[in-house]
Structure 1
Amino acid sequence: MLALCLLAFLPLQDPPPPPPDQFIVGRNKRKVSGVLLRSTEDTLWIGKGTRVMELDAEKVRERSGPRVVYPQYISRLYEDYSKGANAERSLALVDWCRENGLTRDLRFHYLRALVDDPDNEVAHQALGHRRLRGRWRGKVGNGRSISWQELQEYHMDVATPWEIDTFHFHVRGAGRLIEVLNACADLEHLYRAYFQTFQESVGFYELQKPIEVLIYPDADSFPEQANTLDAYWDPSGRQLYTYFRDGKASLLRREGTIAILHATVREHARDEPDLPGWIEEGIAAYMEACMEGPPGSSSFNPDRVNFELFEAHVYHENPDSLTRVLNYSPGDFSASSNQMLKYGQSYTLAHFLLHGGDEKQLEGFSRFLISCYDRKGSMSHFKNAMEIRDLDPLEEAWTTYAQTRLGEGS
């Protein structure tokens, strides 16, 4: 547990937040400045302090700013990481980020440039390193100066991790630089995919506060948990914990989804989340299954299915009833008994509600997600959202879907 204390209480060095977005509205070209919280074809929601104003999208003549260009940023980020490290491309992305106000991400890409070109002068100087006797050197916590090679080894220690900021995350990772950078990129890809999947139907806003992520160098340094998980989200400390295994952050996409879910609920409800366990784990397993690609260059594919979790549900001799699943608490997943069954049924239920019914069913599930964001996630709220009184027909349809979908994939 000493490693946990060392890593969890290192002082944070937050960069300045991204600047406000800018909008030109109407014939008189009125200027509006604020945070783009959400947008549809018809409406833009702009945050100004604690207030939210709505703009008619048709009347917005121009729009610019970091949140406006964020979808373009994710495309550029994917291109950079899918093609492999290239210093010139990373530095070009630095310039693009600076021009468009993505100020949190500059160090992220300077470090990426050094993966390809460890002697890159532009990147080293931007990071505050100095050349001495032909070698680049950087300062560490006690003020001493060490070489770039030593600096990389220094940040592999759990007590002195890399600290890297991205648009929506503050990552402290102890490990090889390329692995930490890949995790940073994957988190932003996941964030974009989650918002593309659920924001329009649920209506939550762009996050204002970065999510804290702590990545340990290996399993031996990772704090043991009673549920034996390789990663977990700590709702009380509002931090995601994981470790590097086989070159990638373990369960990052699953637990990252829970982190994003909790953070968006908290900012939406302005209160601590009170989510049913099956929603947390079902949505997390769904997003994890849909994210494909190697570390750093993941993309969202809604056709990807985790058939192992379907098997955990369908092949179990005594699966839980729908009533029981709807009443899962987050703590139920910490119990050692039937753990895989709980994950399996939560996942197949979420998958069924998203893909296994008609438009009316999908709209009902969207209403329930909205209710969950308002901290109303009980079984009665589920029935009201789905506009049903009797769960039996829905349970039968869910079971049939799980069996059929597994048969198609086997």
Structure 2
Amino acid sequence: KFGWLPKARLQRYEQGERYLAGRWISTEEDARRHADISNGWDVETEHYAIRTNHSIEAAVAVGEKLETLYRLWSQLFIRYYCSQSDVIALFDGRAKPGAVARPKFQIVLFRDREDYNRALRPAMPNIGISTGVYVERTRRAHFFVGPECDDRTLYHEATHQLFHESRPVAPDVGQKANFWIIEGIAMFMESLRQEDGFHVLGGFDDERVYAARYRLLHDSFYVPLGELVDFGMDQFQKDPQIAKLYSQSAGLTNFLVFHDGGRYRDAVVLYLLAVYTGRADRGSLARLASAGYADLDAQYREYLAGNDEKPSIEIED
């Protein structure tokens, strides 16, 4: 609830007192002193440093969710951030994932939407349409407390942060091509939820995949993969049918993760590695999947149209 505290202080914290600069003060005084984000509370978890002007409790709650995301992401994408020799050493019992020390991921959690907009609008005039954002330049993810900002936004933007900061990446990732998978994998990870004691990702019952299925089968909307891989960020985000492109990207990512028992799952990870390190070209996914784009298009349609099962990844808590 309060993060890491000396045991001797816990009772007084539960009674509404706070320890600051060598003396005890009321929660009201503590809140007043931390009202501006520049003087906010700093809460640290194992992998995250969170600055907030809402409350310690809110930062701790967000930190717990982010640590869950980090743990699952680290398991699924080990080949993204570890070398082949590191992976072999891990399975030989000679190493642990994430053994290389890296700076903690920086999170800013604003008190409310108004504070969030006020702080970020000078650099991002359209910030008001967002409910969370990862800024690559500053290496910070920004969120606010309120009903508009849900767990899906938190996991989506934090996934961008994990891919950008867990290994060296190229400048301007996705600017020229292959942008769809950057958003596709973030939408896949935003589906994180808990069911029957398991953490679950993806599946046909996820709202993003449901939308992708509707767009394809009802609206007959589909951009062939051979064309979609040529979309850079600007072309993708300025497309008049951007919502449909996002739906398709979510559907394609789920397809590549789950189709035929995960046949293309390793290819997805290596494709992401190529995209983020600036080595991907328009044929990268086809080569890694050992399948032509026309074949993948046909398999995707069959996957969404004919599969009544609801595949998903389940990881025991």
TM-score interval, normalised by the smaller of the two chains:
0.7 to 0.9
- Helix, strand or coil at the partner of 1:215: strand
The alpha-carbon distance between structure 1 residues 159 and 364, as it changes in their structure 2 partners (threshold 3 A), is closer
**CA-to-partner distance for each residue in 1:136-169, whole Å, 9 max, x for gaps?**
23xxxxxxxxx34310343344443222222222
Do structure 1's residue 289 and structure 2's residue 198 form an aligned pair?
A: no
Distance in 1, Cα, partners of 2:6 & 2:193: 25
Answering whether residue 251 of structure 2 is matched by residue 357 of structure 1, we say: no
Kindly indicate whether residue 45 of structure 2 is the aligned counterpart of residue 166 of structure 1.
yes
The answer as to whether partners of 1:173 and 1:180 remain within 8 angstroms in 2 is yes
TM alignment of 1:220-231, pairs within 5 A: 220-223=114-117, 224=121, 225-226=125-126, 228-231=129-132
- Given the alignment of the two structures, is residue 320 of structure 1 paired with residue 215 of structure 2, yes or no? no
Select 2:207's aligned residue among 308, 314, 319: 308
Cα contact 1:214–1:239 (8 A) shared by 2? yes
Structure 2 vs 1, CA of residues 201 and 233 (structure 1 numbering), >3 Å: closer, same or farther? closer
Amino acid at match of 1:173: T
Secondary structure of the 2:247 match is: helix
Q: Is the contact between residue 281 and residue 346 of structure 1 (CA under 8 Å) also seen in structure 2?
A: yes
Q: Aligned residue for 1:274?
A: 173
C-alpha change, 1:404 and 1:243, in structure 2 (3 Å) is: farther
Aligned residues: 279
Question: Which amino acid counterpart does residue 312 of structure 1 have in structure 2?
Answer: A
Instruction: Determine if the alignment matches structure 1 residue 393 to structure 2 residue 295.
Output: yes
Output the CA distance in 2 between the equivalents of 1:113 and 1:336.
Answer: 58
Partner of 2:4: 109
Helix, strand or coil at the partner of 1:320? coil
The structure-2 alpha-carbon separation of the partners of 1:230 and 1:305, relative to structure 1 and needing over 3 Å to count, comes to: farther
Counterpart CA distance in 2 for 1:179 and 1:111 is 19
**TM-align CA RMSD:** 3.4
**Mind listing any 5+ residue stretches in structure 2 that lack a counterpart?**
84-96, 311-317
Q: 2:243 aligns with which of 319, 331, 340?
A: 340
Q: Are residue 376 (structure 1) and residue 279 (structure 2) matched?
A: yes
Q: Which residue of 1 aligns with 2:86?
A: none
User: Aligned partners of 2:207 and 2:259: how far apart in 1?
Assistant: 18
Aligned to 2:13: 118
Q: Does 1:367 align with 2:259?
A: no
Distance 1:156 1:345 in 2: 42
Partner of 2:162: 260
User: In the TM superposition, what whole-angstrom CA distance separates every residue of 1:217-273 from its partner, at most 9, and x where no partner exists?
Assistant: 21222235537221111112221112112396661111001100111242xx5x546
**1:178 alignment partner in structure 2:** 57
Task: State the 4+ residue runs in structure 1 displaced beyond 4 angstroms.
Answer: 111-117, 247-250, 303-306
CA distance in 2: counterparts of 1:306 and 1:330, whole angstroms:
28
Cα pair 1:212 1:238 within 8 Å, conserved: yes
Structure 1 residues 359, 387: closer, same or farther in 2, change over 3 A?
Answer: same
Of 105, 108, 119, the match for 1:214: 108
Compute the TM-score of the two structures, normalised by the length of structure 1.
0.59
Q: Which residue pairs with 2:139 in the alignment?
A: 238
| Cα 1:305/1:263, change in 2 over 3 Å | farther
| Contact 1:322/1:395, CA 8 A, preserved across alignment | yes
Aligned partner of 1:194 in structure 2 is 73
Quote the Cα distance in structure 2 between the aligned partners of 1:193 and 1:300.
8
What secondary structure, in the 3-state scheme, does the structure 2 residue paired with 1:230 have?
Answer: coil
Report what 1:62 is aligned to: none
Give identity over the alignment, percent: 18
**Cα distance in 1 for residues equivalent to 2:57 and 2:6:** 9
- 2:269, 2:290 → 1: CA distance? 12
Whichever residue aligns with residue 163 of structure 1, its letter is D
Instruction: Name the structure, 1 or 2, with higher relative contact order (CA <8 Å, separation 6+).
Output: 2
User: Superposed, which structure 2 residues align to 1:64-83 within 5 Å?
Assistant: none
The answer to whether the Cα contact below 8 Å between 2:236 and 2:242 also exists between their aligned partners in 1 is: yes
Alpha-carbon deviations, 1:302-331, whole Å to 9, x = none?
365563222332333233222333233334
Q: Which has the higher strand share?
A: 1
Which amino acid is the alignment partner of residue 241 of structure 1? H
Whole-angstrom CA distance in 1 between matches of 2:288 and 2:142 = 34
CA distance in 2, matches of 1:163, 1:303: 33
CA distance in 1 between counterparts of 2:298 and 2:202 reads 23
Structure 1's 160 and 279: CA in aligned 2 closer, same or farther, altered over 3 A? same
Closer, same or farther: CA 170–202 of 1 in aligned 2, 3 Å: closer
Q: CA deviation at 1:176?
A: 2.8
Unmatched 5+ stretches in structure 1: 1-84, 91-107, 131-135, 138-146
